[in-house]
Amino acid sequence: MKTYSTQVSQTNIWKKVLPLSRKRRQVILLVALLIGDTLAIGAAFWVAYQLRFTLLPYRAPFSLLEYQKLVFATIPVWILIFIAFQLYNSNYLLGGLEEYSRAINAVTSGVGALILLGFLRRDDLTISRGWLIISWLAAISLVLLTRFWIRRAIYMLREHGHFLSPTILVGANNEGRALAEQLRDTRTSGLYITGFIDDNLSYGSSVSNGFKVIGNLQDLERIVKKSKIEDVVIAPTALSREQLLNIYRMFNPLPEVKLRLSSGLFEVLNTGLRVKELAYVPLIEVNQTRITGFDAFMKAALDYSVTIPGLVLGSPVLLLLALAVRLDSPGPIIYRRRVMGTNGTQFDAFKFRTMHVNGQEILENYPELKAELNQAYKLKDDPRVTCVGRFLRKFSLDELPQLFNVLFGQMSLVGPRMISPPEMAQYDQWGMNLLTVKPGITGLWQVSGRSDISYEERVRMDMYYIRNWTFWNDLYLLFATLPAVIKKKGAY
């Protein structure tokens, strides 16, 4: 399957991983971020000065040298503000849009500190408001850009086997296998899985995706120390309560080893989990949707910023296509397909009608095609399709009315394939994961061959998209859709 994520092959860890401890990796990342942020903030102030006082016809109230003194005096304050917003906390780095939102808030607070400084000064010198506004915008842009490229540099190092934490998975049951599948993308997880620990399988047994059993629970401590394992990820459903407590006692005196437990619900691994304290009792709360908070805001912003102008500018095309459907064959212009939405809700997805209204009667004359349809839910040479419908399908124009579904909040521009309620059985235990995000007009399956790929492959692609969702991957898939449509591969 072609994907937009490169995975490091799980081979001998010492042939791939640069032997740097977790502390050294964190120090390198911290130094890179401190240098990057300092340069970004300084460059933002300089750019703001040039734009406000050099390029624009405006005489500065004081010289560049005085502004430089002000900047050098306040940059340490900015770094302290960044620390307060936990922008150097490893728990919030390299993990998505949350880091960027914290950076925006920190920069805004830094500009607020400058405004406060200007208000408290007792001399006659003032700080230019235009310079402050330009500094704010420039600092946001440069800080985000710097951190973006630092993240890409870390991802590139991980793709070559560096900056990874040697990891062992404990428990080779269904939950353990699901964990391995989700964590095998070393670029984003940062974990290099060396193998499984399991008491129910023999040494060397293959588990999934090339991972093997490398010992049992009695061997765990010895393997961790010998192989310098830094992360132990546990599938709790594979162990008894006493075994879990023994593992905790084993690694509690070893602060260099990080112990991580899955939720125990491998079917909902794709959704986020929050720990909330009620009456001093920490309880795990399961998110109902995969994309929440600022990520959900960014995805919705992308949907509406493209959909609304698209409907306005594309309305003449939609009217012409509707007229073509009406003149080609009798029947309604819009076909409503009942599909699954988030959290098990159902809605009607809109499409231009591409089939004859007596399509079921036509299909009865082709029993072999009817059997194929029941198995694959798609036919390459479908006798029910009209002449205009074949053209619409070839260029995916029949899906344009789904922009209204996006406008109504039922679908997203990018997402997993929409499916009908009977198709849920094809997803087995992963069905709940599928319903944690809105179905998309386009997606990974759309740019990977559409109907030319098997149904099982489509299911895997949907799960891969949900597990690895990022705003940037949505942008990539959106831009990759047009070339895929032009090639017409798998369109029928």
Residue 290: partners with Cβ closer than 8 Å, 6 or more residues away: 270, 271, 272, 433, 436, 437, 466, 469
Instruction: Report yes or no: 11 and 471 within 8 Å, Cβ to Cβ.
Output: no
Beta bridge partners of 27: none
Q: How far is residue 304's CA from residue 73's CA, in Å, rounded to a whole number?
A: 43
> What pLDDT digit, counting tens, does each position of 388-431 carry?
888 888 888 999 999 999 999 999 999 998 888 888 877 766 67
Top-confidence residue, 15 or 418: 418
Q: How far is residue 237's CA from residue 234's CA, in Å, rounded to a whole number?
A: 9
pLDDT winner (highest mean) among 7-16, 218-227, 312-321: 312-321
pTM of the model: 0.65
> Which pair of structure tokens corresponds to residue 180?
């391995």
Q: Is the dihedral of CA 62, 63, 67, 73 positive or negative?
A: negative
Chain centroid, CA 59 distance in Å: 47
> What pLDDT digit, counting tens, does each position of 239-277 carry?
888 888 888 888 888 888 888 888 766 655 556 666 766
CA-nearest of 176, 163, 250, 234 to 209 is: 176
Q: How far is residue 189's CA from residue 258's CA, in Å, rounded to a whole number?
A: 14
Provide the pLDDT for residue 121: 60
Query: Which band of pLDDT confidence, cut at 50, 70 and 90, is reported for residue 488?
Result: low
Query: Which band of pLDDT confidence, cut at 50, 70 and 90, is reported for residue 480?
Result: confident
> Which pair of structure tokens corresponds to residue 372?
């194929």
Top-confidence residue, 119 or 361: 361
Give the right CATH number for 165-269 from 3.40.50.300, 3.40.50.720, 3.40.30.10, 3.30.300.170: 3.40.50.720
Provide the pLDDT for residue 438: 92
Q: How far is residue 65's CA from residue 328's CA, in Å, rounded to a whole number?
A: 74
Provide the pLDDT for residue 19: 64
Mean pLDDT is lowest, of 96-100, 158-162, 229-233, 368-372, for 368-372
Mean pLDDT of all residues belonging to the chain: 81
> What pLDDT digit, counting tens, does each position of 160-179 carry?
888 888 889 998 888 888 78
Within a 10 A sphere around the Cβ of 271, how many other Cβ atoms?
Answer: 21
> Which pair of structure tokens corresponds to residue 378?
């798609």
Provide the pLDDT for residue 426: 75
Q: How far apart are the first and last CA of the chain?
A: 20
> What pLDDT digit, counting tens, does each position of 55-104 carry?
766 665 556 677 777 777 788 888 999 999 989 988 778 766 678 888 99
Burial of 476 (0-12, 13-18, 19+ CB in 10 A): middle
Give, to the nearest 10 degrees, the angle between helix 64-84 and helix 97-120: 130
Q: Is the dihedral of CA 292, 298, 303, 305 positive or negative?
A: positive
Burial of 208 (0-12, 13-18, 19+ CB in 10 A): middle
Provide the pLDDT for residue 8: 39
Provide the pLDDT for residue 56: 66
**Residue whose structure tokens are 């400058």:** 114
Provide the pLDDT for residue 419: 87
Chain centroid, CA 301 distance in Å: 15
Residues of the chain with CATH 3.40.50.720: 165-269
Q: How far is residue 233's CA from residue 189's CA, in Å, rounded to a whole number?
A: 12
Query: Which band of pLDDT confidence, cut at 50, 70 and 90, is reported for residue 107?
Result: very high
Give the phi and the psi of residue 32 in degrees, each rounded to 5: -60, -40
> What pLDDT digit, counting tens, does each position of 307-347 carry?
999 999 999 999 999 999 999 888 899 999 999 998 888 99
Share of the chain above pLDDT 70, in %: 80
> Which pair of structure tokens corresponds to residue 80?
């302290």
Instruction: Report yes or no: 433 and 268 within 8 Å, Cβ to Cβ.
Output: yes
DSSP 8-state code for residue 267: G
pLDDT winner (highest mean) among 2-6, 121-125, 195-199: 195-199
